[in-house]
Amino acid sequence: MRGVHTPCYDALVIGGGPGGSCAANLLAQQGLKVVVFEKEVFPRFHIGESLLPYNRGIFEELGVLDALAKAGFPRKTGAQFHLGNGSAGTRFQFRQGRFNRETEIFQVERARFDEILLRQAAKAGAEVHEGWTAGRIEADSDPITLEVKDPAGTLHTFRGRFLVDASGRGNLSGNQQGLRIMHPRLKKLAIYAHFTGVELDPGEAGGDTVIYRLENQWFWIIPISAEKTSVGLVTDRDAFQQSRARPEEAFQAAVRSSPDLARRLAGARRLGELEVTADFSYANRTFASPRVIRVGDAAAFIDPIFSSGVFLAMHSARLAAQAIVQAHRQGTDGLAQFRRYERRMRAALAQYSRMVELYYTHPFIELFLQPRGRLDIPSAVNAMLAGELQGGWKVRWRLNLFYWMVRLQRRIGFVPHLSHAPVVPQPETTPAVG
Ligand SMILES: Cc1cc2nc3c(=O)[nH]c(=O)nc-3n(C[C@H](O)[C@H](O)[C@H](O)COP(=O)(O)OP(=O)(O)OC[C@H]3O[C@@H](n4cnc5c(N)ncnc54)[C@H](O)[C@@H]3O)c2cc1C
């Protein structure tokens, strides 16, 4: 059975995650006729729970800031990075970053967060279909046609002047056109679950994202509600496959290798199965074509170490909505606006990709975990961790200097060298009795 929907929409949106609901909300606010297709029925589990302070302005534009503040999500005012053996560590407190205009945000349980955002898109005027799966896209025609399967399995054809692909790592339009290019080196795999009873820091720091860097892998600890904490391991995909370890074994072995991590998880209880996700870090060859624009993970995805995914998804959705509104008003296919969108999005991605690639090198870790106040480089790094994309030259030159120091750290040793070797406890010295 097949249904053709005769009204032609201004925009068809695939996916009701942060990227899709943000684009749909902003387009509807501008009076465009928008429909969203989301294959799941919300609330549903999703990974990606640590947000960046610069998400805040977008929440205000969407009209969800109050609802998020009332939802009781933990406050995130900083991010901590530690070496697994406990020999070094640092806390970036956003309010201490000299260039940060935004200094705090929430950690979220995505099931609730995504639902709040999607419901708000509907309130703004978007038509939302949950449990509807988008399929074949016919983008050569005007209007575009999109095949969508409803929950009963019936196929429908929808027509729209523009299409926003926000299908996340499902990468619907990119895969249909063979555009996805995997990152050549960052072949990682994540093993994660929600826990209760994880030991968090007292006070404000208890809302931080806490990262433990082991030799070739790292852990995140993200409190997402009063009871739940998200804990995950990111490891080398090939090494994991060669080890033939089960996810549970790899996870536990990594926990045991870090006394601090073992302590934090000693009284913790897992709340569900361990999830495994592989094949992140990719970009599509293009982010747009006439009438079609890809946002969030459906454009590109970078390793989650700096918690940039949701912020970049919403930032790109906001830029995409602006581009569509302009094209809609001018009556064009949007390509000129979409090219500008792609340039801006690639520039934002490049800022994080550069830091992510360096994160996997030892000299970066040495400098990153031992920040020095000279020239206020830590403030520039702090700005990146907060999501400051418009910091301008004062942030850029400091970051460039930092990256240059990373390259020379091995030879020059700007800060003491660090080791991943287990720290041997020193015998307690007995004070001399005189
Ligand atoms: C291991 C891991 C850890 C992460 N940690 C963080 C973190 O701490 N902080 C952070 O900011 N980001 C993190 N991320 C990244 C974050 O999850 C994503 O960047 C973010 O969710 C992107 O939002 P999106 O809207 O583009 O895609 P998604 O959130 O994935 O939303 C896409 C939506 O599209 C729907 N969909 C897909 N295909 C179809 C279809 N054919 N038809 C209809 N609907 C469809 C999906 O059901 C989904 O709801 C992490 C990612 C991974 C893999």
305-319 confidence digits (pLDDT tens): 999 999 999 999 999
Distance 356 CA to ligand 1 centre (A): 18
Cβ–ligand 1 distance for 378 under 6 Å, the answer no
Residue 207: CA count within 13 A, CB half-sphere = 20
The answer, yes or no, to whether residue 196 has pLDDT greater than 80, is yes
Cβ–ligand 1 distance for 315 under 6 Å, the answer no
Distance 45 CA to ligand 1 centre (A): 10
337-375 confidence digits (pLDDT tens): 999 999 999 999 999 999 999 999 999 999 999 998 779
The answer, yes or no, to whether residue 105 has pLDDT greater than 50, is yes
Using a pLDDT cut of 90, give the percent of the chain over it: 91
Residue boundaries of the structural domains of the chain: 2-73+108-182+283-348, 188-278, 353-412
**Which residue has a Cα nearest atom 14 of ligand 1?**
48
What is this structure's pTM? 0.95
Give the atom of ligand 1 at the shortest distance from the alpha carbon of 311. 11
Contact 88, 367 (CB under 8 A): no
Cβ–ligand 1 distance for 168 under 6 Å, the answer yes
**Average of pLDDT values for 84-99?**
96
Q: Which of 8, 4, 40 is nearest to 21 (CA)?
A: 40
Cβ–ligand 1 distance for 107 under 6 Å, the answer no
The answer, yes or no, to whether residue 83 has pLDDT greater than 90, is yes
Contact 111, 46 (CB under 8 A): yes
Q: Which CATH number fits domain 188-278: 3.30.9.100, 3.30.450.20, 3.30.70.100, 3.40.50.300?
A: 3.30.9.100
By most ligand atoms within 8 Å of CB, the mutation choice from 44, 105, 167 for ligand 1 is 167
- Give the pLDDT score at 432: 42
Helix residue ranges, H only, 63-210: 65-70, 110-123, 172-176
Contact 289, 162 (CB under 8 A): no
Distance 311 CA to ligand 1 centre (A): 11
**Average of pLDDT values for 38-47?**
97
Q: How confident is the model at residue 425 (pLDDT cuts 50, 70, 90)?
A: low
**Which residue has a Cα nearest atom 26 of ligand 1?**
296
Using a pLDDT cut of 70, give the percent of the chain over it: 96
- Give the pLDDT score at 201: 97
262-296 confidence digits (pLDDT tens): 999 999 999 999 999 997 789 999 999 999 999 99
Distance 281 CA to ligand 1 centre (A): 13
Residues sharing a CB contact under 8 Å with residue 373, sequence separation 6 or more, in sequence order: none
By most ligand atoms within 8 Å of CB, the mutation choice from 39, 76, 115, 316 for ligand 1 is 39
The answer, yes or no, to whether residue 431 has pLDDT greater than 50, is no
Residue, of 3 and 341, whose pLDDT is higher: 341
**Which residue has a Cα nearest atom 3 of ligand 1?**
48
Question: Looking at domain 2-73+108-182+283-348, what is its CATH homologous superfamily?
Answer: FAD/NAD(P)-binding domain (3.50.50.60)
Cβ–ligand 1 distance for 105 under 6 Å, the answer no
The answer, yes or no, to whether residue 433 has pLDDT greater than 80, is no
Contact 198, 207 (CB under 8 A): no
Give the atom of ligand 1 at the shortest distance from the alpha carbon of 308. 11
Taking all residues of the chain, what is their mean pLDDT, rounded to a whole number?
94
Q: ∠ at Cα 66 (65, 68), nearest 5°?
A: 65
- Give the pLDDT score at 276: 96
- Give the pLDDT score at 280: 75
Dump the DSSP string for 83-151.
ETTSS-EEEEEGGG-TT-S---EEB--HHHHHHHHHHHHHHTT-EEEET-EEEEEE-SSSSEEEEEE-T
By most ligand atoms within 8 Å of CB, the mutation choice from 22, 36, 37, 47 for ligand 1 is 47
d(CA 316, CA 7) in angstroms, rounded, equals 27
Distance 146 CA to ligand 1 centre (A): 21
In DSSP terms, 213 is beta-bridged to 83, 218
d(CA 8, CA 99) in angstroms, rounded, equals 45
The answer, yes or no, to whether residue 30 has pLDDT greater than 90, is yes
Q: Is 36 helix (H, G, I), strand (E, B) or coil?
A: strand
- Give the pLDDT score at 1: 46
- Give the pLDDT score at 6: 64
Rounded to a whole number, what is the distance in angstroms from the first to the last CA of the chain? Answer: 95
The answer, yes or no, to whether residue 218 has pLDDT greater than 60, is yes
d(CA 177, CA 130) in angstroms, rounded, equals 25
Cβ–ligand 1 distance for 277 under 6 Å, the answer yes
The answer, yes or no, to whether residue 36 has pLDDT greater than 80, is yes
Q: How confident is the model at residue 430 (pLDDT cuts 50, 70, 90)?
A: very low
